[in-house]
Amino acid sequence: MRIAIGADHAGYPLKAHLVAYLEANGHAVDDVGTSSTEAVDYPPYCAAVGRRVADGRSDVGIVTGGSGQGEQLAANKVRGVRAALCNDLYTARMAREHNDANVLSLGARIVATGLAEEIVDLFLTTPFAGGRHERRVDQVMALEGFDLHEALYTTRAMRRVSADPIPTDVIERILDAAVRGPSGGNQQRFRFLTVTSASTKAQLAEWYAEGLAELNRTKYADVQAQIESADPADPEAALLTRMSSSSMWLAEHLGEVPLLLFVFGKEGGESSTFPALWNACLAARAEGVGTTITTLLRTHRAEVHDLLGVPDDGEWAMHAMVPMGYPLGRWGVAERRPAHESTYAERWGAAPDWRVDEPLWPPRHPTS
Return phi, psi of residue 125, to 5°.
Answer: -105, -10
Residue 179 pLDDT:
96
State the number of CA atoms in the 13 A half-sphere of 3 facing the CB.
25
Distance CA 88, CA 316 (A): 61
Answer whether 2-129 and 146-335 agree in fold: no
Distance CA 15, CA 5 (A): 7
- DSSP codes joined into one string, 113-128: HHHHHHHHHHHHHPPP
Residue 361 pLDDT:
84
Asked: is 2-129 a CATH 3.40.1400.10 domain? The reply is: yes
pLDDT tens digits, the chain, 368 residues: what are they? 999 999 999 999 999 999 999 999 999 999 999 999 999 999 999 999 999 998 889 999 999 999 999 999 999 999 899 999 999 999 999 999 999 999 999 999 999 999 999 999 999 999 999 998 998 898 888 787 778 888 899 998 999 999 999 999 999 999 999 999 998 888 899 999 999 999 999 999 999 999 999 988 998 888 888 878 878 777 777 777 788 889 999 999 999 999 999 999 999 999 999 999 999 999 999 888 999 999 999 999 999 999 999 999 999 999 999 999 999 988 888 888 999 999 999 999 999 999 999 999 876 654 44
Instruction: Look up residue 321 and give its amino acid.
Output: M
Distance CA 359, CA 105 (A): 30
CATH class (in words) of the domain with range 146-335: alpha beta
Residue 234 pLDDT:
79
Residue 368 pLDDT:
46
**Residues belonging to the active site:** 71, 98
Closest residue by Cα to residue 105 from 138, 74, 148? 74
Buried b (16+ CB within 10 A) or exposed e, 74-97: bbbebbbbbbbbbbeeebbbebbe
Question: Helices 235-253 & 221-229, crossing angle to 10 degrees?
Answer: 120
Residue 308 pLDDT:
98
What residues does each domain of the chain span? Answer: 2-129, 146-335
